[in-house]
Chains A and B, each alone.
Chain A
Amino acid sequence: MIPARFDYHRPGDIAAALAILGEHGDEARVIAGGHSLIPMMKLRMTDLAHLVDLQDIAELRDIAVEGGTVRLGAMVTQHDLIASAELAQAAPLVREAALQIADPQVRYCGTVGGNVANGDPGNDMPGLMQCLGATFHLVGPGGERTVAARDYYEAAYMTAREDDEILTAITFAVPSGGYAYEKQKRKIGDYATAACAALVTMEGGRCTQASIAMTNLSDVPVWSEAAVQALVGTGCEADAIGAAVEAARADIDPTEDNRGPVDFKRHVAGVMIRRAIERAVSRA
């Protein structure tokens, strides 16, 4: 499994990386941890002439929690997310999800930026970031712009990012209330058959805020506004949760693949959504 030839670049800062992208256009791709891109290159399913490695750009590696906002640099690895005490305090949902991604070796390499940027419907961080209402920061020749995680995904591997832009950071408000990330996978290292992220805030026995997002149940991550509406204002009793599960299931569009037929995926999705909401409520 030898990939096709490419020219390798290791710029020291974002300006240099953008210059290489500007010169080579869609012939160039940035590489972060490489654990999505390199397997695709080995299978010769991705064709590129220039690989732009971001590993030497130190400013992309920071985790910062300041003024109620979490900022994750694009090159922060899943392992870094798990190891950060500050993040575990501010947003334990992120750690819970990261622990369910791939395996230890892959988590040392795989980055949060790579996971959200490439638009693979199997990746866990896109749904998670939609649940958190995160913002993606894209830097291109014209400077920085931001795109909401809920607006970023257009279709499988098709995103709002332009070829000459680099996703440099993710920001989100420190979440409140209970949280859960539930994922069904066939084995360690597999993508989700179905997964669901949930955030639920309860005040005086009533749900005041909720967010529900799902992974690998459509060609893009799915944030379900209908599920949120089914929960907010209720006491999150069994029938309210049941209504939210059905509302969320109505928003998905799974396809048959080697993880199972559509009916099976819809069934597993229902189980994951229910578990995620119930556990988030129990922690709220």
Chain B
Amino acid sequence: MGKQHYQITVNGEARDVLAEPRELLIHTLREQLSITGPHIGCETSHCGACTVDIDGRSVKSCTVFIAQAAGREITTVEGLGTPDAMHPLQEAFREHHGLQCGYCTPGMITRAYRLLQENPSPTEEEVRFGIAGNLCRCTGYQNIVKAILAAAAEMNAAKEAAE
């Protein structure tokens, strides 16, 4: 099967891509759409650097064919916030030094985003269990966990203030 047209929605925008069905979603995002937040780390579905959100699920985009993703809504770290209007998670990672080299960070934040959607007030243990599919070789995780807990508190406070 040669190249096909596939429709996906990425960060709220409908996109049409021409690709062979075997193309992995991470390559579509990075090479065709220049969405380079999701990183290629291990390429073996272990490290989580390529994590994106697909229809409300955290997914390692190195282990999804573009053909499987067709018709789905995809959110990457670019869809969560911008440098001028950062998502509370992005702000908290900066504030709490939740990164050093930054390679795992987009995957960490995208995964943490879904974790907090499902469990807005996690315990530290639940955060650690919830990000177990994302590897960081710099921080020892301590500040990542702190940042996610701080972001959860911030998001809950903002929600309460709005009510």
| Chain A residues in the interface with B (C-beta under 8 A) | 1-8, 10, 31, 34-35, 38-39, 41-42, 51, 53, 55, 79, 102-106, 108-109, 188-189
Contacts and interface: CB of A to CB of B under 8 A. Distances in A.
A267 B39 CA distance: 40
B63 A38 contact: yes
Contacts of A39: 44-45, 63
Contact-residue size bin, chain B (C-beta under 8 Å from the other chain)? 20 to 34
A42 to B, nearest CB: 7
Contacts of B4: 8
Contact of B132 (A8, A35, A42, A104): A104
B22 A105 contact: no
B22 A189 contact: no
Contact of B1 (A8, A34, A79, A108): A8
Given A1-B43, A109-B64, 4 more contacts: A79-B57, A105-B45, A106-B45, A106-B60
Nearest to B44: A39
B51 interface: yes
B36 to A, nearest CB: 19
Given A1-B43, A104-B132, A51 B63 contact: no
B133 A103 contact: yes
Contact of A109 (B20, B63, B67): B63
A268 B21 CA distance: 43
26 contacts: A2-B24, A3-B22, A6-B1, A6-B21, A7-B21, A8-B4, A8-B21, A8-B67, A10-B67, A34-B65, A35-B45, A38-B45, A38-B63, A41-B22, A51-B21, A51-B65, A53-B68, A104-B130, A105-B48, A105-B51, A105-B59, A105-B60, A108-B58, A189-B45, A189-B46, A189-B133
Contact of A34 (B21, B57, B63): B63
Given A105-B133, A108-B58, A108-B59, A5 B45 contact: no
Closest 6 CB pairs of A and B: A103-B133, A8-B21, A108-B57, A8-B67, A7-B1, A105-B133
Interface string B124-151: 0000011111000000000000000000
Nearest to A1: B43
B132 A34 contact: no
Interface of B: 1, 4, 20-22, 24, 43-46, 48, 51, 57-60, 63-65, 67-68, 111, 115, 129-133
Contacts of B58: 104-105, 108
Contact of B59 (A5, A31, A109, A189): A109
A12 to B, nearest CB: 12
Nearest to B107: A105
A105 B116 CA distance: 14
A46 B132 CA distance: 28
A5 B22 contact: yes
A104 B112 CA distance: 11
Contacts of B21: 6-8, 51
Residue of B20, B22, B48, B64 contacting most chain A CB atoms (<10 Å) = B22
Contacts of B67: 8, 10, 51, 53
